[in-house]
Structures are given as C-alpha cells and as structure tokens.
Amino acid sequence: MPKVAVDAYVAPEAVLAGQVTVYDGASVWSGAVLRGDLNKITLGFCANVQERCVLHAAWSAPTGLPADTLVDRYVTVGAYCLLRSCTIEPECIIGQHSILMEGSLVETNSILEAGSVLPPGRRIPTGELWAGNPARFVRKLTNEEIMEIPKLAVAINDLMQSHFSEFLPYSTAYLEVEKLKKSFSIPL
C-alpha cells in the first residue's frame, strides 16, 4: 500500500502501486506511474515527478547495487522520464525525456540534461552537468547554478499548492488512524 504524506500532492491521474512512499511537500503530476510492486520507491521532501514519468524498481540487482528507487529531497524529475532502480541524491535536476537505468547514481547538486540516457551502474559526481546518449560529462556547475537547483523544486512546490483546492487529498494518513483505533479498541 502506498504511503502519502498529508501535504504531498498526487494528481488524480497518477498511479501509485505497491511500496511507494511520498514525503511532505513532494508532488506526483498527471499521468506519472510509480510502480513499487517489486521493490520500494521513495520520493523525498519537496521532490517532484512531473507528467508521464515512470518510476520502477527491480526485485534485485545482479551487480549488488540497491534495487530500490530513491528520489531524494529537492529533486526535480522532468516530464516523460524513465527511472528504474536508481538513486538520485538531494538537490538534482533530471531533464525531461531522460532515462536512468539500474544502479545508476546521480550525486548531490548535479544536473542531467534533457533526453539523456544514464547507463546501468553509471555515476554522476557531485556538482556536474552531464548530457547525451550515453550520458557524458559536460562541465562543472557554477555556484550560481547549484544555488538555483533547490529553487526550482520550491517553485514547483508553490505551483502544487494552487492545485490542492482542485482535488480531494490523496493522503493515506487516515489508515494509520484506523490502525490506532483498532489497537486501542476505540469504538468507531
């Protein structure tokens, strides 16, 4: 059963299945699919997965790398991306139409340009810009560019706030309350 924080936004057209955790301030936009049926998927604080992205996780990785999918805090995943059993550390941007394969790692304060493919097991070091198919090092990011990365995630979070009034909340917090009621035998 997916777990969604009270102030997270999940569009009505998005699909969350299995071991999916969406933390505070995170957002999952229209048409996105987060399939945690084989392994867990975590979307961190103020992270966002934009339109028509697919996040999936394998049962296990033959390489010994983690098989779950982690999108950490203040990460922006552009529209139409495919992420499978990869790790994205805090404050990164993944450009739209990008593909991250099994075991790939994007370290803190990094950017993967739109349309890039990060092969299995590939690592983008901290503070770098990568692009291409397969993705290759382009250049080091400037301090100004690094400072802008979390601002993009916050801007999308602000946009998310305007959508809360349009739909009923998706939170699963009520399930925890039901468990507490049953454990303390509180009449409904």
CATH of the domain at 125: 2.160.10.10
Reported as a pLDDT band with limits 50, 70 and 90, residue 47 is very high
Of residues 159 and 64, more confidently modeled? 159
Give the Å distances, CA to CA, from 9 to 23, 90, 97, 183. Answer: 10, 19, 22, 29
Rounded CA separation 81/10 (Å): 17
Report pLDDT for 66: 78
Total domains in the chain come to 1
Reported as a pLDDT band with limits 50, 70 and 90, residue 174 is low
Residue 48: domain span: 3-184
Reported as a pLDDT band with limits 50, 70 and 90, residue 32 is very high
- Cβ proximity of 86 and 67 under 8 Å: no
- Note the pTM of the prediction, 2 decimals: 0.85
Of residues 165 and 25, more confidently modeled? 25
DSSP string across 49-110: E-TT-EEE--S--TTSS--SEEE-TT-EE-TT-EEES-EE-SS-EE-TT-EE-TT-EE-SS-
**Is pLDDT of 34 > 90?**
yes
Task: Work out whether strand 128-131 and strand 136-140 pair parallel, antiparallel, or are unpaired.
Answer: antiparallel
- Choice among 81-85, 93-97, 156-160 with the minimum mean pLDDT: 156-160
178 membership: H or E segment, kind and range: helix 173-183
Report pLDDT for 56: 93
Report pLDDT for 188: 55
CA-angle at 80, arms to 135 and 133, nearest 5°: 15
Report pLDDT for 92: 97
CA-derived radius of gyration, the chain: 17
Of residues 175 and 46, more confidently modeled? 46
